[in-house]
């Protein structure tokens, strides 16, 4: 039997992944009959999910129905589609900002770090995962509008000065306290990680975590995909002990604590030209030692105007955040 007759039979086989025949998929690249009556078949498929089944179908036709003594099958996946699949499955890189105690400056740090990455030319997003105390939209003083969905039903994040932002604040009526029970809060959190349509070239998503070591914080730390994490603490030793707990707990859950930021470290006294350590000293160092990570920065206390939470690039704080972002980009090849 000439090889084109064999092709006519083989091309009827259906690939269950696409529900199309090998003919429709134009999958058969070659069928040749070698001198020793071995049939040599080459197939290229969009996906190899049902490759074994297709192999069995070909073997039945060639060896049982047509009684050829030998068969060689080479099934490969289409290289272009393989690349595309890889690009679609590309996992998002997350950097979480966490703390033990509330009010230590997580959201301020998260927003400033996001700006630092943006200033260095990276595409970044922020997830405000602090379900019961959303703050990123307030920190940035941004207008709050409901979010749209894309064609696949994924949430399109808000865009603020080229930073993409997701927060519960976009899903609740304004000024109403959030009274969600834990399962709804978990569902919302899960959605932030599974169903957001980030820019296709997003480099990094910063997560503003809820404070604490309690139930909600643990829940969230379990729901957040394994991520890099920065622990924020104040210089006060008592407060730092709680930050240590948060750091060690996060490590236990598989997060990668990459460093510690000591916020509100000191006040630079313009008159005496000295640093005043108003809130104690050494907290950041202690946390870094105990969780086995670097102390990335000591950020001084400054007068923060509600409308001006993002430090200018020319300030010490602005430069420090840039340095943290730059070193992260280098280490992670971002
Ligand atoms: N370096 C700083 N100097 C002065 N004020 C600061 C500094 N960092 C943060 N703040 C102020 O401290 C307050 C708490 O900051 P922020 O909301 O970022 O903390 P948080 O840890 O996210 O709090 P929460 O636990 O409630 O989410 C804010 O008013 C913020 O402007
Ligand atoms: Mg906060």
- CB of 214 within 8 A of CB of 221? no
Distance 208 CA to ligand 2 centre (A): 7
Question: What confidence tens digit (pLDDT) does each residue in 90-122 have?
Answer: 578 999 999 988 889 999 999 999 999 999 999
Q: Is the pLDDT of residue 139 over 80?
A: yes
Distance 106 CA to ligand 2 centre (A): 5
Q: Is the pLDDT of residue 86 over 60?
A: no
**Whole-angstrom distance, CA of residue 207 vs CA of residue 118:** 15
Q: Which atom of ligand 1 is nearest to the CA of 111?
A: 18
Question: What confidence tens digit (pLDDT) does each residue in 185-230 have?
Answer: 777 888 898 899 999 889 999 999 888 766 666 667 777 878 999 9
Considering only CA atoms, give the Rg of the chain.
28
Give the mutation target among 304, 306, 307, 318 for probing the ligand 1 site: most ligand atoms within 8 A of CB: 304
Question: What confidence tens digit (pLDDT) does each residue in 2-35 have?
Answer: 888 999 999 999 999 889 999 999 999 999 999 8
Classified as helix, coil or strand, 92 is coil
- CB of 104 within 8 A of CB of 233? yes
Protein residue with its CA nearest to atom 16 in ligand 1: 105
Please, which residues have CB within 8 angstroms of residue 143's CB and are 6 or more apart in sequence?
none
> Backbone dihedral region of 234: left (phi > 0), alpha (psi from -120 to 50 degrees) or beta?
beta
Q: Is the pLDDT of residue 233 over 80?
A: yes
Q: Domain 91-332 class?
A: alpha beta
Q: What residues are in contact with ligand 1 under a 6 Å CB criterion?
A: 99, 102-108, 130, 133, 135, 211, 263-264, 299, 301-302, 304, 309
Protein residue with its CA nearest to atom 8 in ligand 1: 105
* C-alpha distances out from residue 189 to 89, 97, 168, Å: 20, 15, 9
Q: What is the pLDDT of residue 72?
A: 95
Domain positions in the chain: 3-86, 91-332
Question: What confidence tens digit (pLDDT) does each residue in 51-61 have?
Answer: 999 999 999 99
Burial of 274 (0-12, 13-18, 19+ CB in 10 A): exposed
What's the mean per-residue pLDDT of the chain? Answer: 88
CB neighbourhood size of 240 (10 A) = 28
Classified as helix, coil or strand, 213 is coil
Q: What is the pLDDT of residue 110?
A: 96
Looking at the domain 3-86, which fold is it?
GMP Synthetase; Chain A, domain 3 (3.30.300)
* C-alpha distances out from residue 19 to 15, 41, 77, 299, Å: 5, 21, 16, 59
Task: Please state, for a pLDDT cut of 90, what percent of the chain lies above it.
Answer: 57
Q: What percent of the residues of the chain are helix, what percent strand, and what percent coil, each to the nearest 5?
A: 35, 25, 40
Give the mutation target among 99, 101, 102, 103 for probing the ligand 1 site: most ligand atoms within 8 A of CB: 103
Q: What is the pLDDT of residue 269?
A: 84
Distance 34 CA to ligand 1 centre (A): 75
The model carries a pTM of: 0.74
Give the mutation target among 105, 231, 304 for probing the ligand 1 site: most ligand atoms within 8 A of CB: 105
Q: Is the pLDDT of residue 303 over 80?
A: no
Q: What is the pLDDT of residue 129?
A: 86
Q: What is the pLDDT of residue 215?
A: 62
* C-alpha distances out from residue 211 to 134, 137, 171, 180, Å: 11, 17, 21, 18
């Amino acid at each position: 039997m000439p090889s084109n007759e064999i092709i006519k039979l083989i091309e009827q086989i259906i690939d269950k992944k696409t529900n199309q025949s090998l003919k429709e998929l134009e999958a058969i690249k070659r069928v040749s009959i070698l001198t020793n009556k071995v049939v040599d078949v080459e197939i290229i498929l969009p996906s190899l999910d049902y490759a074994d089944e297709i192999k069995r179908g070909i073997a039945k036709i060639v060896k049982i129905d047509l009684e050829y003594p030998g068969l060689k099958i080479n099934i490969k996946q289409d290289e272009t589609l393989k690349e595309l699949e890889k690009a679609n499955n590309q996992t998002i890189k997350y950097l979480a900002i966490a703390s033990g105690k509330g009010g230590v400056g997580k959201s301020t740090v998260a927003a400033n770090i996001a700006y630092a990455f943006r200033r260095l030319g990276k595409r970044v997003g922020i997830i405000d995962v602090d379900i019961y105390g959303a703050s990123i939209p307030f920190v940035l003083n941004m207008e709050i509008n409901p979010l749209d969905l894309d064609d696949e039903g994924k949430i399109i994040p808000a865009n603020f000065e080229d930073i993409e932002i997701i927060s519960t604040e976009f899903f609740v009526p304004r000024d109403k306290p959030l009274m969600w029970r834990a399962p709804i809060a978990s569902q919302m959190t899960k959605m932030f990680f599974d169903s957001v349509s980030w820019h296709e070239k997003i480099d990094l998503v910063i997560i503003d975590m809820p404070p604490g070591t309690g139930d909600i914080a643990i829940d969230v730390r379990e729901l957040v995909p394994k991520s890099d994490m920065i622990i924020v603490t104040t210089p006060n030793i008592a407060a730092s002990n709680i930050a240590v707990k948060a750091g060690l707990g996060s490590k236990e859950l598989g997060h990668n604590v990459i460093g510690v930021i000591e916020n509100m470290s000191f006040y630079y006294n313009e008159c005496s030209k000295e640093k005043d350590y108003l809130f104690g000293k050494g907290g950041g160092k202690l946390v870094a030692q105990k969780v086995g990570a670097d102390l990335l920065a000591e950020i001084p206390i400054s007068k923060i105007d509600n409308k001006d939470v993002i430090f200018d690039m020319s300030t010490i704080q602005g430069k420090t955040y840039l340095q943290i972002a730059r070193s992260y980009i280098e280490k992670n090849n971002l």
